[in-house]
Amino acid sequence: MIRVVALFCSLLIGCPSSPDGDGGPAPGGDGGQIPDGGTSPADVGVGDCGESWVLSYEIGGSFHIEETPLGAGDNVEPLTPGVLRIRVPGGEDGPGSGQSHLLELNFREDFEVTSFGIRTTTQNSVQVGPAPCGAGIGDLQGNILTWDACTPGEGFGVDRNSWTPESGASGPGCAQDMRTSGNVHCEGVMCGTAGLEEGDNPQNDRYDQKLNNLVFSADLSTVEMEKVEIPNREPSRTFISLTGTQTGAQRAPIPACLCP
């Protein structure tokens, strides 16, 4: 995830840089059918291994910047809400425990910062999926979804300058092919001192991202994820944390690509 604007933040006051809910009846309702977790039926074929549950959440959270020089750019900004969708096991009586798949995660980062004669406007989207065959594997037991192995790449944890999107992470439990795209627009004669071009600074990155466990309420109506570090290119460490509220839970035929 490109964090060009993070340099501006670290030098000045701090801000994030790089991004929607759908759903249906909750368990106990009429259990409306959807072909493959809400994606187009043309994407994958329906398998012959039964049905599972697709849970949809309106997801929000925060973007955290830490360990900037002298702490001058440390800051927390809210994420613009998006969507989290996961596929979990279960029968007619509702979701159950077992192997689960991340289907989609998206949100936006939209904010403006003005300081020391420089104004930056950040408009970025972050997207994983839609991936009817899964963009990350985990195990749901009770109210905790633990992701399979996901190992951050070279430079992770060495120092605040060392872990960049080029190294990302690897493993079946990563949020795979996370895409960050958008723009940071800078106005002011000192944009260059903040590591930005005056005018537009396009943002475009793709990498696999480690996630922390998803912790649900007992009835799966809400979800939280503690902050997890994301790579960037500037002198700081950056994190996201997530919170969400269920917008839908539907039984759906399991795609052929997820059948044993």
Weakest mean pLDDT among 18-22, 125-129, 166-170: 18-22
- Mean pLDDT to the nearest integer, 145-167: 91
CA distance 203 to 200: 9
Asked, for residue 141, whether it belongs to a domain, the answer is yes
Q: Note whether residue 152 is domain-resident.
A: yes
Question: Is residue 102 in a domain?
Answer: yes
- Tokens at residue 144, please? 């905790």
In a domain? residue 179: yes
Q: Domain for residue 39, yes or no? A: no
State the chain's mean pLDDT as an integer: 81
Contact criterion met (CB below 8 Å) for 131 and 102: yes
Three-state DSSP at 9 gives: helix
pLDDT at 37 over 60: no
Q: Are 160 and 67 in contact (CB under 8 A)?
A: yes
Residue 41 near residue 104, CB atoms below 8 Å: no
- 260: Cβ–Cβ under 8 A, 6 or more apart, which residues? 49
Q: How far is CA 208 from CA 136, 143, 153, in A?
A: 10, 25, 10
- How many structural domains is the chain composed of? 1
Give a yes or no: residue 31 inside a domain: no
Exposed/middle/buried for residue 146 (C-beta within 10 Å: 0-12, 13-18, 19+): middle
Phi (first) and psi of residue 70, to 5 degrees:
60, 15
Q: What is the mean pLDDT of residues 31-35?
A: 32
- Under the banding of pLDDT at 50, 70 and 90, the label for residue 206 is very high
102-130 pLDDT per residue, tens: 999 999 988 777 766 778 787 999 999 99
Task: Give the count of beta carbons closer than 10 Å to the beta carbon of residue 80.
Answer: 17
What tokens does 4 get? 């060009």
Mean pLDDT of 245-253: 96
Per-residue pLDDT at 251:
95
Q: Rounded CA gap, 239 and 242, in Å?
A: 10
SS3 158: coil
State whether residue 159 is helix, strand or coil: coil
40 occurs within a structural domain: no
- Domain span at 175: 4-24+45-258
Specify if 52 maps to a domain.
yes
